Amino acid sequence: MRVRARAPGKLVVLGEYAVLAGGPALVMAVDRYCIADLAASDDDVCHLSTIAGQTNERSFALGASSGAAIVDTVLEQRGMSSGTPWKGRLDSSALFVGARKLGLGSSAAALVAWAGAWSTYTRGEESADRRPSLAEVVAAHRRVQKG
């Protein structure tokens, strides 16, 4: 099975600091996306390609850390095992110019895209057949951002 999920970047129009203290903010989605792809591996290890300001290729044993904080956070929260080795691609290059972030929420978009793809890819293993809740994704994003 091949799975693709995407999440848009975001632009904080106003309230970027107020929201840190629980205040309101105005945010809009932009037409630039982070894309997550997942499929079964062609061999007996997992493979992950992350594309942002640069491309990183990783191979690792099923159940081991991928070395990508966003991916590992989702795997820890949603369940580490897909049952078989997988290959994934997490591409947030549309939210960058070269190696420079555009400030459009690339880490949040990457987290949401990967969580959606992983949830769909492993859906058969989840007893409730549920997607991650907003609270789960927010908690995961806070862990990745360390705050």
Question: What is the per-residue DSSP string for 79-94?
Answer: -S--SS-EEEEEE-GG
Close Cβ partners of 141 (under 8 Å, ≥ 6 residues apart):
107, 108, 111
Q: Is residue 14 part of a domain?
A: no
Nearest C-alpha neighbor of 145 from the set 95, 92, 73, 76: 73
Q: Is residue 19 part of a domain?
A: no
Q: Which two tokens stand for residue 42?
A: 């062609």
- Do residues 41 and 21 touch, judged by C-beta distance below 8 A? no
Q: Is residue 108 part of a domain?
A: yes
At residue 129, does pLDDT exceed 60? no
Task: Residue 42: give the domain boundaries.
Answer: 32-145
At residue 116, does pLDDT exceed 80? yes
Residue 45, number of CB atoms within 10 A of its CB: 15
pLDDT of residue 9: 98
pLDDT of residue 127: 40
- Residue 99 DSSP class: T
pLDDT of residue 132: 66
At residue 86, does pLDDT exceed 60? yes
Task: Quickly state the pLDDT bin for 128 (edges 50, 70, 90).
Answer: very low
Q: Is residue 89 part of a domain?
A: yes
Q: Is residue 21 part of a domain?
A: no
Q: Which two tokens stand for residue 105?
A: 């929420």
Rounded percentage of the chain residues whose pLDDT exceeds 90: 66
- Do residues 65 and 51 touch, judged by C-beta distance below 8 A? no
Q: Is residue 61 part of a domain?
A: yes
The average pLDDT across 13-37 equals: 93
CATH number, domain of 46, equals 3.30.230.10
Q: Is residue 54 part of a domain?
A: yes
Q: Is residue 12 part of a domain?
A: no
Q: Is the pTM of this model over 0.75?
A: yes
- Number of domains forming the structure of the chain: 1
